[in-house]
Structure 1
Amino acid sequence: MIRGSNGVAFGPDGRLYVAQFVAGQITALEVTGGDVEVVVAPGGPIEAPDDLAFGPDGSMYVTDLVPGRVWRRTAAGAVDLVAEGLRNPNGIAVAGDRLFVNEMVPGGRLLELFTDGRAPRVMADGLAMGNAMQIGPDGHLYYPHMITGEVHRIGLDGGSPQVYLENVHEPVAVRFDRAGTLFILSRDAGGTLTQVTERDRFSWPTGVCGMDNAVFDDENRMLVSSYATGGIAEINPEGRNRLLVRGGLTGPYGLAVDSIGGVHAADHYGFAHSNGFELSTFVHGIAADDNGRHVTSQFGRVRTMDETGTYRTRANLDEPFGITVDAAGALVIAEAGAGRVVAVELDDTLSVLADGLDRPMDVAFDDDGRCYVSDAGRGAVYRLDPVLDPTFDAPAPVVVAEGLDRPEGLAVAAGRLFVAEAGRGRVLSVDLTTGALSVEADGLWDGSVPRTAGNVASEGLPGVPRTFAGLATAGAELLVAAEGSILRLEIR
């Protein structure tokens, strides 16, 4: 399984190297046998690898998106810094001993970088979010403008960039096959692929949702990555796609079960559900009721999507994570950045249910309407007793469990409160009558510290998502958001 596949390139050993931005790692795939090896693990200097390319000496150059760096990893495995202080460096290309990188921001730059410490050379600016690029048969560097739907090109020795193609649907990558034919990948839900000839262009849906990058092997087969659904697929114009290695969910993060038993997972780039994957904007928390799906996003927005697919913004908060719906239909949200729990009423008025917390992550109600909140910063789970008299302040939160390591997701079933203790990789339960604490499952996550590099730069720009292990109940089962999967545990 490869979660969230981004940049791809064949290495000198013949393996396909895959940058995984969200997972924070680089994986090598044996294309013929399917063997997968993590060659750059999380926790090292490379934090958010998005694209990569190989130099003639076998060195691998990597764009580290959110920290704004570019690295070189030698064939022996040594890593050194090539450049820093860039703004979301993404697309990368190598021509001989020359290295080129573009920035995925509005008004970004196309740069030539130097490994001897010289300052970068600005070849072009004003890019409308650059991305995967390649040097064409004519010696020009071709790159997309994601926002404006254009493909530009520029000579390697400079000059004015030229608009090569206009009206391209959501271009994310520019690639030439072994015969020199130009292909443009789109990042849409249908996986639109455009082939450009001297006389015309042809577009068709590949079915690969959220394509990110591509490479052609020695037999001119096109291998495609997906930032949304992961994995590597071989595609061709006849539509005979073949999955080389399966993908996985990016997170997943929040989980919800609707009134008819349908499972929904908030998965950063969209929603995973029984009917497939639906692109959205960096969603992390999710709840579902008869009024639709309610989500929190990494940008701080709380939104409701009705049955027609129309979104309505309900609130803008400081790092909202877990979300649920109370008996009156109000949205109740753990606002981690502000250290509080808030309610958004049906008319979108906002009230504070609890304040002064450290890092609240999730909320859940029991059958008696009592609200519980997990606090990852304090390692505790609290009960929020209702305010019986509006003229008085809310009662202080009551400790339900403490001494935990990053408690995150919550769910209630069978008289017990289930807690995802992310720091120790296990699920606990608290008997709501006796207060007894039990371990329900262990070894579910590796317990690593959440990656927090940069988080979110600004609206519309990606950040490394903070981890959030969500829980939900479905009948007699507990659903657990694990690494790339949803696990089902029997509630005994």
Structure 2
Amino acid sequence: MSSSTDTRSSRFDPTGAWRPHTGEGWRAARLNHPNPLWGSNGVAFGPDGRLYVAQFLAGRISALDPATGDVETVVGPGSPVQAPDDLAFGADGAMYIADLTPGRVWRRDPAGSYTLVSDAVAQPNGITCVGDRLFVNEMRVEGRLVELFPDGRDPVVLADDLAFGNAMQRGPDGRLYYPHMLTGQVWRVHPDGGPPELFADRVDEPVAVRFDRGGALVVLSRGPAGVLTRIDPDGGRRTTLATGVTGLDNAAFDAENRMFVSSYASGGLTEVRPDGRTREVVPRGLNGPFGITVDLGGRVHAADHFSLTSAPLPDPGTPAASQPAWPDEALTRRLIIFAHGVTAEGGLLHVTTRLGEVHTHDPAADTTRVRATGLREPVGIVAAPDGTLLVAEAGAGRVVRIHEGGGLTVLAEGLEHPVDVALDAAGRCLVSDDRTGAVLRLDEDGAATTVADGLGAPQGLVVDGDALYTVETAHRRLTAISLTTGERRVVAERLPVGEPPGARRAEPAGPPGVVAPPPLFAGLALAPDGSLLLSANGEGTVLRLHRSDDCAD
């Protein structure tokens, strides 16, 4: 067995000792660095001077030193917090946490003990402290902004009818400022009550409001250009700045008025200077990845929950293990919210989403059209030779065919949990079921024949001639199965797929994927050069597995 030589630490293994083991004749290399922050959301400076970062997708809160970029997990495995999206510090040094998915607000005292402040706030997100007072808003339609009391008193509602609230802060005038994400507005209300007031309209996709040390309001955009809108305290003059950080989420100013921004779309932490220059404090990366595909031009596309992320496939002879081929600037991120599965067909990309939709995206024309809606947890997708799309609809236990001119037909139903689809040499559909541990072949009449069973939660599927490859996520290995003889061999094991050791994930609540981390899906793709690309979603990388005689030492 051979192994990768990359020893960088990851969220899957912070010791840096992880290595995938590959079978005889195979080699593995990462195409990008592991993601140090699995998405970065709320940020706030703590009493110790470090910047604390809530990671909704990871269920963690990390503290980092802005000078060095060193990251330490402070809230993680063993804590009651499941999906932290924002945080704030009280006057006594206690950390208050908006735990989005379970709908809870926590207090973590300086000694590290947790107290439940409230479970009566639906989808709590924006959170701020004014002295020893605590305010939270709801990220939902017709949400509320409330004051909470750690002593158990009933919440006091200050504002309602919020169109998706998010990160907020008290301004120099003593009022609380907060965004309406869906209407492009910033509102304000006095902490002691009174009618809410519209402060700014026609703001670019506002996701957070922050005041700098000079009292100017800075509004962050959640859009692709990473726009900052600065509104001067005197006269209200506006200026805008495009940071290039896709999917901004939150920001914090230090004592020297330096601005640090987070990104829900790509993680990391970036300093943004007044002239628009940026400094990467913690590198950005991938939130998954989940579905993965390669187009005929050799460009890799990964469904990454908040975006469709693309990068060129490097020459297989490039020694990429110690120097990944994808620095962040090589990645192209297109915001396709809740992207989960993807397949390339000619010049098009077909994407499934956690909203139950199937999209067809044309990168050349930069257009996207919706092909299907109302599906229950669509995951894997493949284009058939007749122009239709086959989709594994995990939540409905079926595989469906989506027709070019519209309409949907059912190819097979009554399955347990189909997650990926592939076509064999004869054009027949193969489907993996990660609950039954089987790969099935589907006929046009809906009959299913078992190709392989006894597998450990198989997900991603690829067919290359007689070889069927599947990612056994329960065993963290990639297995090759002969379609004629059934013979099996391990291509790679000790793969960083699935949950990192000790991690706990919040279960979805309400519409799938809207307020919960997505279910992990380890996608698999076949590149034009015959190499395999695997979604190493335990650490945020794409692994390339290729036969050793195709690779330079």
TM-score bracket relative to the smaller structure: over 0.9
CA distance in 1, matches of 2:77, 2:470: 25
Please give the secondary structure, in 2, of the residue aligned with 1:148.
coil
Residue type of the alignment partner of 2:457: R
Partner of 2:308: 271
Partner of 2:289: 252
Do residues 70 (structure 1) and 105 (structure 2) align? yes
Residue type of the alignment partner of 1:67: P
Residue type of the alignment partner of 1:471: L
CA distance in 2, matches of 1:37, 1:476: 39
Partner of 1:412: 463
Q: How many residues align?
A: 484
Q: CA deviation at 1:174?
A: 0.6
CA distance in 1, matches of 2:73, 2:310: 28
CA distance in 2, matches of 1:131, 1:413: 47
Q: Report the more deviating stretch, 89-98 or 347-356.
A: 347-356
User: Closer, same or farther in 2 for the Cα pair 1:458/1:322, shift >3 Å?
Assistant: closer
Q: CA deviation at 1:311?
A: 2.5
Q: CA deviation at 1:450?
A: 8.1
Contact in 1 for aligned 2:425/2:465 (Cα 8 Å): no
CA distance in 1, matches of 2:246, 2:516: 20
Partner of 1:237: 274
CA distance in 2, matches of 1:379, 1:205: 47
Percent of aligned pairs sharing the same letter: 53
User: Closer, same or farther in 2 for the Cα pair 1:251/1:455, shift >3 Å?
Assistant: farther
CA distance in 2, matches of 1:469, 1:251: 9
Q: Report the more deviating stretch, 197-206 or 428-437.
A: 428-437
CA distance in 2, matches of 1:456, 1:251: 21
> RMSD between aligned alpha carbons?
1.8
Partner of 1:390: none
Do residues 349 (structure 1) and 416 (structure 2) align? no
- Using structure 1 for the length normalisation, give the TM-score: 0.94
User: Closer, same or farther in 2 for the Cα pair 1:130/1:341, shift >3 Å?
Assistant: same
Partner of 1:454: 508
Cα deviation digits, residues 283-315 of structure 1 (max 9, x gap): 101111126211111010112123423332222
Q: CA deviation at 1:108?
A: 0.6
Q: CA deviation at 1:414?
A: 4.8
CA distance in 1, matches of 2:191, 2:219: 21
Residue type of the alignment partner of 1:453: E
Please give the secondary structure, in 2, of the residue aligned with 1:268.
coil
Residue type of the alignment partner of 2:522: A
- Aligned pairs for 1:392-403 (under 5 A) are 393-395=445-447, 397-403=448-454
Do residues 476 (structure 1) and 534 (structure 2) align? no
Q: CA deviation at 1:192?
A: 0.6
Please give the secondary structure, in 2, of the residue aligned with 1:2.
coil
User: Closer, same or farther in 2 for the Cα pair 1:279/1:15, shift >3 Å?
Assistant: same
Partner of 1:124: 159
Please give the secondary structure, in 2, of the residue aligned with 1:280.
coil
Q: CA deviation at 1:457?
A: 3.1
Cα deviation digits, residues 204-255 of structure 1 (max 9, x gap): 2111111000001122110000000110000012122100010211111101
Contact in 2 for aligned 1:3/1:247 (Cα 8 Å): no
Do residues 184 (structure 1) and 238 (structure 2) align? no
Q: Report the more deviating stretch, 100-109 or 7-16.
A: 7-16
Q: CA deviation at 1:446?
A: 5.6
- Aligned pairs for 1:276-315 (under 5 A) are 276-290=332-346, 292-306=348-362, 307-315=364-372
User: Closer, same or farther in 2 for the Cα pair 1:450/1:371, shift >3 Å?
Assistant: farther
User: Closer, same or farther in 2 for the Cα pair 1:452/1:420, shift >3 Å?
Assistant: farther
User: Closer, same or farther in 2 for the Cα pair 1:44/1:375, shift >3 Å?
Assistant: farther
Q: Which has the higher contact order (CA 8 A, sep 6+)?
A: 2
Contact in 1 for aligned 2:101/2:506 (Cα 8 Å): no
Contact in 1 for aligned 2:459/2:470 (Cα 8 Å): yes
CA distance in 2, matches of 1:470, 1:455: 24
CA distance in 2, matches of 1:171, 1:74: 31
Contact in 2 for aligned 1:23/1:42 (Cα 8 Å): no
Partner of 1:104: 139
- Aligned pairs for 1:436-447 (under 5 A) are 436-445=487-496, 447=498
Cα deviation digits, residues 133-192 of structure 1 (max 9, x gap): 011122111111111111111111111111111121111111011222211111111111
Q: CA deviation at 1:77?
A: 1.8
CA distance in 2, matches of 1:455, 1:271: 24
Contact in 2 for aligned 1:295/1:302 (Cα 8 Å): yes
Do residues 201 (structure 1) and 253 (structure 2) align? no
Q: CA deviation at 1:423?
A: 2.2
Q: Report the more deviating stretch, 37-46 or 429-438.
A: 37-46
Contact in 2 for aligned 1:228/1:270 (Cα 8 Å): yes
CA distance in 1, matches of 2:76, 2:120: 23
Please give the secondary structure, in 2, of the residue aligned with 1:284.
strand
Partner of 2:17: none
User: Closer, same or farther in 2 for the Cα pair 1:403/1:75, shift >3 Å?
Assistant: farther
Contact in 2 for aligned 1:330/1:343 (Cα 8 Å): yes
Do residues 329 (structure 1) and 387 (structure 2) align? yes
Higher strand proportion (structure 1 or 2): 1
CA distance in 1, matches of 2:198, 2:404: 48
Residue type of the alignment partner of 1:174: V
Q: Report the more deviating stretch, 442-451 or 262-271.
A: 442-451
Q: CA deviation at 1:318?
A: 1.1
Partner of 1:369: 427
Partner of 2:72: 37
Cα deviation digits, residues 314-355 of structure 1 (max 9, x gap): 222111000001111210110101111111122223222222
Unmatched runs of 5 consecutive residues or more in structure 2: 1-35, 312-330, 549-553
Contact in 1 for aligned 2:497/2:522 (Cα 8 Å): no
Q: CA deviation at 1:3?
A: 2.3
Partner of 2:91: 56
Q: CA deviation at 1:272?
A: 0.3
Q: CA deviation at 1:402?
A: 2.2
